[in-house]
Amino acid sequence: MSKQLVPDQGWLKTLHARAIKQPLRPRVPLWAGESVIGSVEPALLNDKALHEMLDVVEPLLQEEHPAELGWRLLGDVSTSLNQLARALYGAGLAGEWRNEQLAVHDQFDHLKGTVERAAVRPLGIATSAVHLVGQTPDGRHWVQQRSLKKSNDPGLWDTLMGGMVTAADTVEIALERETWEEAGLKISALQNLSHGGRVTTRRPSDDGKGTGYVIEDIAWYRCTVPEGVVPVNQDGEVAQFRLMAPEELLQALQRDEFTTEAALVLAEVLNLA
C-alpha cells in the first residue's frame, strides 16, 4: 500500500490563491459585436506606440462611452484580432510570437474567431491547455524542467507534458502532438492512458508589459510510461527529464519549483487538493 502524503496546508492555500487572483488593475470588456471575447486594461488600446503600429485603412477598434463599457472590435473577428495582435507585438505589448492561432470564444462559449497566441494575455482571451502526467509502473513520476530560454516560467519543473490547444486541435490531437514534441513519446507506446480531470487558473500575466491576464482551462491526462521507455525532447523547449518518487515530488512542489499549472495538476494526482 502506498504511503499517504500529507501536504503543508499553508502551501496548498497559497497555491490555490496564486492560481485564482484578481487583475492587478481594473479591466474593461473587449467586445466583438454583442459578444464579450476578452478584457483589457483601459489604457492599453490607447497606447501611442500601438496606434503607430496600426497601419490599416479601416479602423479596428472603437472605444465605448462611457469608457467603463470597454472596447469594441470592428470588422471580421479573426482578421481584426490578428491585425491588432501584430500591432501589439510591434509595440512591445504582446508575448512571444509563436505563429499559432488559438480559438476565441465568447462569454457563452461560442466560437467567434482565432488569434495569434502572442496576444491572448494582453487581450484577456480565454485559452485551453492539456497536460500529461506520466508514472512508471512502480509509481514514480516523470517530470520535465522547462528550458531556461522559455519566455514563461524558465527553469521551473512541469508535468511530463504541458501544451496549448490550438484552434486547429481537439484536446486529443493536442495531447498526441505535444507529447511527441516535448517528450518524444508516441501515445500508442504509453499504457493506461485516461482523462484525469480539469483545473483552472485566472491570474495576472507579465505579457504586454504587465497588462496581461491569464484565463485558462486545463484538461489533464494520466498514463503509465513502460519500464525502459525514456522521454527525449524534440523541440528544444525542455532542459531535462527526471524521475521523482511521490515524496520527492511533494517536497519539490512545496518549494515552489513547479509551474502553477503543473502544481495544480500534480496536487490532484497526489490527492492533496
**CA pair distance 192, 116, nearest whole angstrom:** 34
Query: What DSSP designation does 23 have?
Result: -
What CATH code is carried by the domain that includes residue 189? 3.90.79.10
* pLDDT confidence of residue 1: 40
Across all residues in the chain, what is the average pLDDT? 95
Q: Tally Cβ neighbours within 10 Å of residue 15.
A: 20
Is residue 4 situated within a structural domain?
Answer: no
**CA pair distance 208, 41, nearest whole angstrom:** 10
Q: Tally Cβ neighbours within 10 Å of residue 137.
A: 11
Same domain, 96 and 218: no
Residues in CB range of 185: below 8 A, 6 or more apart: 134, 179, 225, 229, 231
Is residue 99 situated within a structural domain?
Answer: yes
Same domain, 156 and 259: yes
> With contact defined as beta carbons under 8 Å apart, do 175 and 152 qualify?
no
Query: Structurally, how many domains does the chain consist of?
Result: 2
**pTM reported for the whole predicted model:** 0.94
The pLDDT tens digits of the residues spanning 86-111 come to: 999 999 999 999 999 999 999 999 99
Query: What DSSP designation does 166 have?
Result: -
- Compute CA distances 149 → 10, 146, 165, 255, whole Å: 31, 8, 21, 22
- Compute CA distances 49 → 16, 92, 228, whole Å: 36, 8, 54
Instruction: Classify the C-alpha dihedral 35-36-42-48 as positive or negative.
Output: negative
- Compute CA distances 14 → 19, 51, 248, 254, whole Å: 9, 39, 20, 10
Q: In terms of residue numbers, what domain contains 167?
A: 9-21+127-269
Residue 57 reports pLDDT greater than 80? no
Which amino acid is present at 192? N
Is residue 262 situated within a structural domain?
Answer: yes
Residue 46 reports pLDDT greater than 80? yes
* pLDDT confidence of residue 38: 98
